[in-house]
Structure 1
């Protein structure tokens, strides 16, 4: 295997191929790619890129056809081939397919199912119903009533998070008080989940109040806890409340570099680079000096503004201060240059990295693959992806997500599915953003069997089918003329207590009216009242 630094050679050769063309953004395949890149897969047949091989995974033959998705293509089957079904989980799943008005009704139904509550079983159910608090809390209460069973702290924290996500704050606090009576059950993780859910609901002051009283639950009100609060406030779009926390507690709780970096990042994502610079100045006065995280946040702000002169200025300042940029810094710059259609400059970033002895990491390669793909150089993007594994650079979920998304954009359905299968071989679990481009493509192509398979694949990977996914399904199926299926997923969404966006509701009704589907239109219109009540 070649040393990782030789990855630079591949990019340098790509850059050579690019430099001979006037319009970099319209190139679909570089005729000047080095011969080694064009022929490396034929010089040694045994080393052929797996991306170029015929698809032979338990493929559509075993992945889809064996699902026996015959009649109703809108239904999601319950078992994936090659995965041993958990009889108890499936039994509970079947019970929870019914809609129950309260958790007590769920408990009553489960008491008659003959299944014993175990932590692994409860954990799987909570993951699958993390967006639906009634069945989740019902299972939680039912399991707790089983003789000899006691929920471990991590499951209690998961339930606290689900209740907080559903804005069932009264029940959430009752559970926390119960946990507090159990020794060592309430931790900083518990309190962070509470503060995050309050902040996500816009209750920023309540989140800060939780921090003020955190010691009552046996959790230290220290630097780590304060940083956690400030971080979640920033991520929930209230950097000013995070600043308020620092002002209030600065004199009694020591600050560290991370404390200031949270604020710098917060102001940068709000496009307030001047405020971020003020925090950096305050950071220096307090005896802490900007590090690579501080500077990278500032660089990202300037990249959003497409002010690459200021980006260069920050890089120069870093060099003067002896603070070398890392691969994440360069990844941000490459993505920004790609969005600005400065492909040549994006490739030159490699030379800067080499000069600073900074090796590309997975994040950097993912950014570069995305830039090449969006520039119309999909074949080159696949060569970079394939070369990563050969050079010993680990592939992660982000890399696969980027390649799958690129394959879908370029209508490479077979390759996209091959990549999804390869993730399983590499013991990587797809996340919701991995599935999104595939769902959109299958909706557009009216591939109902593949769509059903994909949703089942998500279920078995405990990926939450949330508002975003349902919106993609209903919108995509409407545009493709699959209105029966669109109605199915719209009704399922509402039945789970998820409030659809207004434009999704209007789009579906309009399409039903245009196609003379009066009965379906009437049924969907009847859901309007329940939707209004839910919102």
Structure 2
């Protein structure tokens, strides 16, 4: 059995970016680029605090803000520019968060899905009469919006499938498989897969990967492996690529020992490749089993594959997670000595680890080493540098780095924007955070749930209702689904800000969507209502929690019944 103290997935605070597929893409791209970073970063890599550095860098402090006494958004003290797109907000109404009035087809459909959620026949009749023309783009937008509401997603998917002249694509089917797997509706997931199999030509390794990942994530290890053994019945080959998918799935879900045992069996019939061993090395490293990782590197050589930069970087990341920077340094030297120089990803991993350890100067020293090696920074490097500077309180430096990225041929990515917004929100720079969001809107970069989470948290904490409403409406317009975590954040934040009416409405919306609130969320809200003597609201919340728990129990009962009927048949 794996030890319980396994390393968390990835070292990235700003998103999961360190998966093997991403690594291989990054290494391929990085190897085709040479040169040095010009101008912009030089000023941030002096290893001692020079006399030229302003006082705010040496002794970072959060700039003071005026106190807010009402729900209106007020600019910070000494604000220099106005965020014009906030000005025309209407009065805050939580009940509108999922019902934004718009002529867009997705909003028409969304209103029907939510109002007729529990009556598929009525829903289908309403959809037939709503005047919406079905297209792959529309279906995918709706599924993305309701990726945390499997009932609404499946109802719409089934209706769309019956429309004359429309056929769901492989991508659409894969999205539905992933939604059902994510919500642990595995019987229904298999129904969709069987439908894909009968149609033919729809099931790919991507489909199988999604199935395995969701099964493995639910602890269904045997079912995960059974998918591989039955892969030929799905129209796919049992070969090195499919073997690597199942091994990678098990390793990512922290079950590297099962992956190793499976490899010992499959390896007798299916030849491994270098990626096979890199998957296992990465799995051992994530489990902090470094001796096994190094042994696998030796085994790799026995099969005729030399450890590559991916192999070494997995070890580097593992030692970084242990703050064993002595071994990290030794590995960097070994890589250079063996003609396998560290890539931009390797350097980024090390620099980020130093930053998380609050050793900012050491992080900047790694940048200097990378620059001297001729390795050019990429977007992930910049993301890490922005994160490090932001966490150290150097928000102006972080902003400067962000603005200089295009000058060095790097377009800020979604993760770049998310990282900058996150560190700005952490320091309560309200207007600056909204300004970055505005810039993001003007770029071709589309926000996701991680973009809005720190903003929602900050404005909940400040009780800034008008801005909070704007952000929630903006999320819905961009088909960003509010998940359980987002709802919980809103309820907790509004409780702390003593906005209990809003907290109650979000709690109710959560239950309406079929989500079961965590007990801690329920407890906090109930205690606040009790403290404020809001008895009627407290009773309503208790009723909603009972309803959610009853729905959960009913769902379990129905799944058990389906399972017993299947076995009996």
Check the 8 A contact 2:274/2:305 in 1, yes or no.
yes
Can you give the 5+ residue segments of structure 1 that lack an aligned partner in the other structure?
32-51
> Which of the residues 452, 457, 465 maps onto 1:448?
465
State how far apart, in whole Å, the 1-side matches of 2:131 and 2:161 are: 15
Q: Any idea what SS the aligned residue of 2:446 has?
A: coil
Q: Which residue of 1 aligns with 2:484?
A: 467
Question: Aligned to 1:136, which of 137, 153, 165?
Answer: 153
Q: Which runs of 4+ in 1 moved over 6 A?
A: none
2:57 is aligned with 1:29: yes
Which of 257, 263, 266 lines up with 2:280 in the alignment? Answer: 263
The offset of 1:244, in angstroms, is 2.6
- 1:325 maps to what in 2? 342
Aligned to 2:114: 97
Paired with 1:362 and 1:422, the residues of 2 have a C-alpha distance of 18
Map residues 344-363 of structure 1 onto 2, 5 A cutoff.
344-363=361-380
Pairwise CA distance, 1:326: 1.1
Question: Which of 204, 219, 226 is the matching residue for 2:236?
Answer: 219
Write out per-residue CA displacement over residues 101-121 of structure 1, whole angstroms, 9 at most, x where no aligned residue: 364453344344343433222
Q: Out of 73, 86, 103, which is 1:60 matched to?
A: 86
Q: Which whole-Å CA distance do the structure 2 matches of 1:415 and 1:474 have between them?
A: 25
Alignment check: 8 A CA contact 1:104 1:138 kept: no
Deviation (angstroms), 1:236: 2.1
Deviation string 1:288-317 (CA, Å, 9 cap, x unpaired) is 121111111111111111010000111111
Supply the RMSD in Å over aligned alpha carbons: 2.5
Residue 90 of structure 2 corresponds to residue 69 of structure 1? yes
Deviates more, 1:382-391 or 1:222-231: 382-391
**CA deviation after TM superposition for structure 1 residue 242, in Å:** 1.9
The question of whether the paired residues in 1 share the 8 Å contact of 2:34 and 2:374 is answered with no
Who is 1:16 aligned against?
Answer: 46
Tell me the alpha carbon deviations over residues 270-294 of structure 1, each in whole angstroms, 9 at most, x when there is no partner: 2222222222122122211211111
Q: Distance in 2 between matches of 1:506 and 1:59?
A: 37
CA offsets, 1:29-69, max 9 Å, x none? Answer: 259xxxxxxxxxxxxxxxxxxxx9965676213xxx2xx52
Structure 1 position 419 matched with structure 2 position 436: yes
Number of aligned residue pairs: 501
SS for the counterpart of 1:386 is: helix
Question: Is 1:169 aligned to 2:186, yes or no?
Answer: yes
1:516 to 1:179, Cα distance in 2 relative to 1, 3 A:
same
Match of 1:207 among 221, 224, 243: 224
Shift of 1:175: 2.1
Change (3 A) 1:120 1:370: closer
* Alignment match, 2:562: none
Instruction: Provide the C-alpha distance between the structure 2 equivalents of 1:274 and 1:4, rounded to a whole number of angstroms.
Output: 34
* Equivalent residue number for residue 39 of structure 1: none
C-alpha contact 1:127 1:462 (8 A) present in aligned 2:
yes
- The whole-number CA distance in structure 2 between the counterparts of 1:73 and 1:141 is 30
Structure scoring higher RCO (CA < 8 A, sep ≥ 6) equals 2
Contact 2:239 / 2:270 at 8 angstroms: preserved in 1?
Answer: yes
Shift of 1:159: 1.5
Q: C-alpha deviations, 1:423-476, integer Å up to 9, x for none?
A: 122200112212111111110111111111111222222222111111111111
Which residue of the other structure, out of 413, 430, 436, is the alignment partner of 2:453?
Answer: 436
Between 329-338 and 69-78, the greater mean CA deviation after superposition: 69-78
Unaligned 5+ segments in structure 2 are: 1-32, 60-77, 554-569
Normalising by the residue count of structure 2, what TM-score does the alignment of the two structures yield? 0.83
Residues 316 and 53 of structure 1: is their aligned pair in 2 closer, same or farther, counting only changes over 3 Å? farther
Deviation at 1:94, TM superposition (A): 1.3
1:457 paired residue number: 474
In 1, Cα distance between equivalents of 2:507 and 2:391: 32
Alignment of structure 1 residues 81-92 onto 2, 5 Å: 85-92=102-109
Distance 1:381 1:149, change over 3 A: closer
Match of 1:429, SS?
A: coil
Aligned pairs (5 A) from 1:246-285: 246-285=263-302
1:482 equivalent in alignment to 2:499:
yes
Q: More displaced, 362-371 or 95-104?
A: 95-104
String of CA shifts for 1:368-393, please: whole Å, max 9, x gaps: 12112222222222222222223332
Give 1:86 shift.
Answer: 4.9
Q: Distance in 2 between matches of 1:450 and 1:273?
A: 48
**1:88 Cα shift?**
2.8
- Shift of the 245–457 alpha-carbon distance from structure 1 to 2, 3 Å rule, reads farther
Cα distance between partner residues in 1 of 2:456 and 2:49: 37
Q: TM-score, normalised by structure 1?
A: 0.88
Q: Distance in 2 between matches of 1:6 and 1:216?
A: 52
1:103 and 1:135 in contact (8 A); partners too = no
Between 260-269 and 516-525, report the one with greater CA deviation.
260-269
Matched, 1:106 2:123: yes
Distance across 2 between alignment mates of 1:275 and 1:408: 41
Contact preservation (8 Å) 2:491, 2:521: yes
> Could you tell me whether the CA contact under 8 Å between 1:234 and 1:263 is conserved in 2?
yes
Within 1, Cα distance between the matches of 2:519 and 2:539? 17
